[in-house]
Structure 1
Amino acid sequence: MNISSKGLHSRNKHQQAYDFTALCAAVPALTAFVRDNGYGLLSIDFANPDAVKTLNQALLKQQYSIEHWQLPDGFLCPAVPGRVDYLHYLADLLAVLNKNKIPTGAKVQLLDTGCGANLIYPLLAQAEYGWKVTASELDPQAVNAAQQLIEQNQLQQKITLKQQHNSDHIFQGIIQPNDLFDLTLCNPPFHTSAEQALAGSERKAKNLGHHNTTLNFAGRCHELWCDGGEAAFIRRMIDESQSYAQQVLWFSSLVSKQENVPALQQQLKKLGAQQQLIAMQQGNKQSRILAWSFMPEKQQLLWAQFRWQKK
């Protein structure tokens, strides 16, 4: 089943232009970065990492009541509208099994594989839907930064952080025998090499009229690239997910490159998995979510009844 979208999800709070007056009121430090964009509208320099980080702080505080957010230098700085879009579409997957009502609260368990130092998906998931989140991460420095965010925002009861100690594994070592997850999500490494990642940063900088690729295109090596790029990473994720077929309702991953989709869909078909491809768009940027489940529909409905519909 394919689901298409021409823009942000209908529940996305960022349908309109940013309200910089409200955002600056929430985080006054943002004022220093706001300027006229030449068309009579307020904006920031999106190639300036400090400006983007401060914008994120303001968005998270003003729209999601997340009081504390910061990011160490060198780590990937996420765009909030696109990240929360992913969560809204995952919520729709659950609603289909729940009489078109999105299940909310800690009864829904989400696994974010590779949460990064920014912890963006867990923060947004608990803010928007009250879901309980387990976040895994390989990089020890990112783990420390993410744990600090959990503690600063007093979210220890809503977000659990686990360090992945083996770079060859995605779910193994994280999903324990008694764990049950309604959803998994992942924003996999996009590029196939450090050189390709640098070239991508140079293209972004050129599109924004800059030539300094150290501006807003940071990211640790495992955030940006891996051998074989996103296609190889997701193939490995699909293979590993078979071992947890009865512990996870819906697995999912972003797929940035359309050309990677057919082979991944064929892999899932061979494994007998149900799958959905959900198209997403933010401005000129297009992406997609590939979601899969090893449970037949009848089992999915029983899962929903047991997990979310308790009286």
Structure 2
Amino acid sequence: MIKNKDKKAASLHPRNLHQGSYDFTRLTAACPALNPFVTVNPKGQATINFSDPQAVLLLNQALLKCFYDVDFWQIPEGYLCPPIPGRADYIHYLADLLAETFNGEIPSGKKIKALDIGSGANCIYPIIGSQSYGWSFVGSDIDPLSVKTASLIVKSNAGLKDRIKLILQKNDQAIFSGIIKKQDKFVFSMCNPPFHASMDKALAGSTRKMNNLNKGKAAAVKLNFGGQENELCCAGGEIAFLKLMSSESKNYAGQVCWFSSLVSKSENIAPLKKLLAQLGAEQVKVIKMSQGQKVSRLIAWSFLTQEEQVHFISQ
């Protein structure tokens, strides 16, 4: 068990290893290939061009090596290259959620089995969760290349081999069906859902971000941090995906202690809470996460009472 510390008002979760500015001296020592991409901004601070996919990829490789003992991490060109500090926050807030059942103690070790819906080629949540708390993960994805790439990452790192398993979701209209077997029990599920209804909308959102980074100057249209269509988009956008996930979760009410997902749009929270109440969820929690000026949130729900959860996790 790991003692759960009180939360403080900070940009990142108090247990997040990526507080403050990046230590590029340490990062370039771990990943020398990053060094040519490091520049000095007008304030005299070391940085990289976050609109350069190669620079971001190498930064991630350095962060994963320095903080999570991952020596090999590579993704196909054009696939989602996630910002690691923000991804780590989701893991740590989920740990806090589990601690509520254990009187402030975060359960650790392989007995805590988690399901990551849409792990992607990057496999980032299982990596951070397994290395931070020793949890074991099943990751699912509808893209064969993502599953193949994530499996290679796992096989290539000794610390991940016995903690992470990847599964191909063969039905692109299903989320849990075909992944959760009759004998399976997961302490939690997590998901970073496709936020957009189309690639046009994804590109528009990325263009706004790039123009902000360039202080309003016109910037080339690029996907921020990359991403394939199946990683970023689904018919009906985020709310349609999360309504499907909520409805399908009812079929696995006794096999998952906590279901959860990121929610990018605050206006989607109210209809989701209404739907979950209709489905008979015993508990619904909305947790705000703050990374600098960006505010994101996750929604978590359970069809178990807290007493039933204690029994579930202690089995």
1:181 aligns with 2:190: no
1:257 aligns with 2:261: no
For 1:294, the equivalent position in structure 2 comes to 303
Report if aligned partners of 2:192, 2:262 keep a CA contact under 8 Å in 1: yes
SS of equivalent residue, structure 1 residue 97:
helix
Q: Report the count of equivalent residues.
A: 304
Alignment of 1:23-172 (within 5 A): 23-154=27-158, 155-172=160-177
Alignment of 1:274-285 (within 5 A): 274-285=283-294
Indicate the larger mover: 12-21 or 206-215. 206-215
Report if aligned partners of 1:48, 1:216 keep a CA contact under 8 Å in 2: no
1:278 aligned partner, one-letter code: I
Report if aligned partners of 2:195, 2:237 keep a CA contact under 8 Å in 1: yes
Distance 1:58 1:180, change over 3 A: same
1:122 aligned partner, one-letter code: P
Q: TM-score of the superposition, structure 2-length normalised? A: 0.93
Report if aligned partners of 1:5, 1:280 keep a CA contact under 8 Å in 2: no
Q: Deviations over 1:173-195 (max 9, x none)?
A: 00000000001000000011121
Report if aligned partners of 1:5, 1:281 keep a CA contact under 8 Å in 2: no
RMSD, matched Cα: 1.5
Return the offset for 1:6: 5.3
- CA distance in structure 2 between the aligned counterparts of 1:300 and 1:217, rounded to whole angstroms: 37
Which sections of structure 1, spanning at least 5 residues, go unmatched? 307-311
Q: Which has the higher contact order (CA 8 A, sep 6+)?
A: 1
Report if aligned partners of 2:197, 2:236 keep a CA contact under 8 Å in 1: yes
Distance 1:255 1:193, change over 3 A: same
1:98 aligned partner, one-letter code: F
Q: TM-score of the superposition, structure 1-length normalised? A: 0.95
For 2:312, the equivalent position in structure 1 comes to 303
Query: Identical aligned pairs, as a percentage?
Result: 49
Report if aligned partners of 2:95, 2:106 keep a CA contact under 8 Å in 1: yes
Q: Deviations over 1:23-79 (max 9, x none)?
A: 111111111111101111100000000000100000111111111111111111101
SS of equivalent residue, structure 2 residue 177:
coil
For 2:13, the equivalent position in structure 1 comes to 9
Which sections of structure 2, spanning at least 5 residues, go unmatched? 1-6
Q: Deviations over 1:129-180 (max 9, x none)?
A: 1100000010111111111101111333110110000110000000000000
- CA distance in structure 1 between the aligned counterparts of 2:110 and 2:161, rounded to whole angstroms: 13
Return the offset for 1:302: 1.4
Select the residue among 210, 214, 221 that pairs with 2:222. 214
Q: Deviations over 1:232-270 (max 9, x none)?
A: 100000000000000000000000000111000111112
Return the offset for 1:283: 1.6
